């Protein structure tokens, strides 16, 4: 991918996370910075967790194939 494509992908991800966080922060009615950051961390955690799990499983499978 070209640099401009990476940049556009990163911008879209950031905009999506911002929209999710703002909607989550306003849903509970207290629009403070603390609640915004807390919800952002929760969204990033739950979004990144499946990627980490899949990455670990992939590495385990890859190392088992090399041992054969």
Write out pLDDT tens, residues 3-42: 999 999 999 998 988 888 888 778 776 777 888 888 888 8
For residue 22, give the 3-state DSSP assignment.
helix
At 20 the pLDDT is 83
Helix ranges restricted to H, 1-68: 3-27, 33-67
At 59 the pLDDT is 95
Q: What angle is formed at CA 29 by the lines to CA 42 and CA 17, rounded to 5 degrees?
A: 35
25: Cβ–Cβ under 8 A, 6 or more apart, which residues?
Answer: 31, 35, 36, 39
Range of the domain at 19: 3-67
At 33 the pLDDT is 81
Burial of 31-44, coded b for 16+ CB within 10 Å and e otherwise, reads: eeeebbeebbeebe
Q: What is the pTM of this model?
A: 0.60
pLDDT bracket for residue 63 (50, 70, 90): very high
Q: Structural domain tally of the chain? A: 1
């Amino acid at each position: 991918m070209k640099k401009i494509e990476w940049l556009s992908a990163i911008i879209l991800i950031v905009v999506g996370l911002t929209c999710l966080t703002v909607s989550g922060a306003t849903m509970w009615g207290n629009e403070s910075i603390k609640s915004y950051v807390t919800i952002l961390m929760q969204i990033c955690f739950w979004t990144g967790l499946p990627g980490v799990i899949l990455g670990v499983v992939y590495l385990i499978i890859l190392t088992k194939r090399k041992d054969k």
